[in-house]
Amino acid sequence: MKALVMEAVGKPMVVKDFPQPECPPDAAIVRVQACGICRSDWHMWMGDWSWIGFSSHLPTVLGHEFAGVIEEVGKDVKKLKRGDRVVAPLSQACGTCEDCTSGHSNLCFGGSSAGGFGQFARLGYADYNTVKLSEAIDFVAGASMGCRYVTAYHAIMDQARVKADESVVIYGCGGVGLSAAQIAASAGARVIAVDLDDRKLELARRAGATDVVNAKTTDPVAAVKELTHGGAHVSVDALGIAATCQNAMLSLRKLGRHVQIGLTTQKEKGQVALPIDLIVLAELQIMGSSSIPTWRYPAMLEMVERGKLAPKQLVTNTIALDQAFDVIDQMSRFENVGISVIDRF
């Protein structure tokens, strides 16, 4: 099959012929129709997250934000058949461990989905992880439902439990930040977006942010405190570098809730200094948010079908597989604006 292959950390990826994935008894093979390009792909390409046990066996095919059609199912798979339109969460949960059986399949790393930068990708524990897409949701919209959009949904709705009329500040207006802005706005919140790039802030406005702050020219913490008369109810770090994480927490009002979505880079290696005294005295809450439990999909998909959420509106470019590496490379310099989805393989 044709695929964009990662052969070594940090070396340019190339489109070439690559063995099609095999299908174990519990798995399904998806003919990929669309795949989003996520900063997590860039992190994996950089060799990041070894400090939390993530690494790729090389050569490999990245790409975890894909939607497509079932091509083949393993002999133990009961709920899927060839031709089903599907999407799957990033974490391929086992379905039987304590995390899975208690409703937290997003915390089970039975395996990770990848392979969306190729014509065919494998989904493990397919009965448990695969979510069927209705005809009302096209593949480009569906492609965001593996990672960025669902991660933002879980963070805003389940973890922070954002309520109407609360203020939410979002640091970082890449794919997950824009998704969080749209979802928080649709929940009735006042959304303030912070970034260093006016083009990304314009996209945040279109996604539903009522106020935007360019942290290159304006102190974002002071700006948020002024806009919200004392601080935001909820802060989101949608990037994962020390400055955004710290500024996000400092932007909160008393009793504020911080949600950390971004995982860190080589520079932090997971360690960021936190304003502990403030956390104590202001009774701040800090929570992480990772992917989404599979059982949460139906509620979200229903909102997409009703037009209450519009993930496709956030897609700025649809591209061919041959153009995908350029987008990943641009992420090194934060040059990419908006969300790119591969829809030609």
List contacts with Zn ion (CB under 5 A): 38, 40, 93-94, 97, 100, 108, 147
| Closer of 74 and 174 to Zn ion (Cβ) | 174
How many angstroms separate the CA atoms of 194 and 188, rounded? 19
Helix axis angle for 175-186 and 198-207, nearest 10°, is 30
Contact (CB, 8 A) for 258 and 269 = no
| Min dist. Cβ of residue 230 to Zn ion (A) | 34
| Min dist. Cβ of residue 271 to Zn ion (A) | 22
Q: In terms of Cα–Cα distance, which of 60, 132, 91 is closest to 298? A: 132
| Min dist. Cβ of residue 176 to Zn ion (A) | 8
| Min dist. Cβ of residue 43 to Zn ion (A) | 9
| Min dist. Cβ of residue 162 to Zn ion (A) | 21
DSSP-derived letter for residue 125 is S
| Closer of 39 and 233 to Zn ion (Cβ) | 39
Q: 59: cis peptide before it, omega within 30°?
A: yes
Which secondary structure element, helix H or strand E, spans residue 260, and what is its range? strand 252-260
| Closer of 90 and 137 to Zn ion (Cβ) | 90
Contact (CB, 8 A) for 318 and 139 = no
CB neighbourhood size of 323 (10 A): 16
User: What's the token pair of residue 203?
Assistant: 């996209």
| Closer of 146 and 220 to Zn ion (Cβ) | 146
| Closer of 59 and 111 to Zn ion (Cβ) | 111
Contact (CB, 8 A) for 60 and 6 = yes
| Min dist. Cβ of residue 337 to Zn ion (A) | 17
How many angstroms separate the CA atoms of 77 and 154, rounded? 27
| Min dist. Cβ of residue 40 to Zn ion (A) | 4
| Closer of 50 and 218 to Zn ion (Cβ) | 50
Looking at this protein, which amino acid is placed at residue 65? E
Contact (CB, 8 A) for 138 and 161 = no
User: What's the token pair of residue 114?
Assistant: 């990848």
| Closer of 147 and 221 to Zn ion (Cβ) | 147
